[in-house]
Structure formats: structure tokens, C-alpha cells
């Protein structure tokens, strides 16, 4: 049994969601005010001491 109204609704809803995600991604990645790298003077996260010999593979 084919329900055309359900298929059209399902496809349209999926398209709206994908357009929202795509537009949001474009806006965020295109913004010069949003950065993936932390500010060097932001605080304790920038001063973290990570040991480089925590695991010794043999």
C-alpha cells in the first residue's frame, strides 16, 4: 500500500532538516568570530602539562 502524502511529508521534513543543518554549518564555518583554536591567554587549558612518556610502546 502506497501512502503518497506520507512519503512527500517525510521527504520534505528531511529536506528542511538538512537545509537547516547545512545553512547553520555554513554560517558557523564562515564566521571570523568563531575559532576552533583556543585563545593562547584563555587560562588553565592553555597551560596544561601533558606528559609525553605516559605510555611506552615496546
Mean pLDDT of the chain: 80
pLDDT winner (highest mean) among 9-18, 22-31, 34-43: 9-18
pLDDT, tens digit, 9 for 90 and up, residues 4-24 = 999 999 999 999 999 999 999
pTM: 0.54
- Residue 55 pLDDT exceeds 60: yes
pLDDT above 90 covers what percent of the chain?
A: 41
With cut-offs at 50, 70 and 90, classify the pLDDT of residue 32.
confident
Q: Which residues of 15-50 are buried (b: 16+ CB within 10 A; e: fewer)?
A: eeeeeeeeeeeeeeeeeeeeeeeeeeeeeeeeeeee
Amino acid at each position: 500500500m502506497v501512502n503518497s502524502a506520507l512519503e512527500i511529508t517525510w521527504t520534505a521534513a528531511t529536506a528542511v532538516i538538512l537545509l537547516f543543518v547545512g545553512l547553520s554549518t555554513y554560517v558557523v564555518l564562515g564566521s571570523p568570530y568563531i575559532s576552533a583554536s583556543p585563545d593562547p591567554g584563555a587560562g588553565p587549558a592553555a597551560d596544561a602539562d601533558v606528559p609525553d612518556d605516559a605510555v611506552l610502546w615496546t
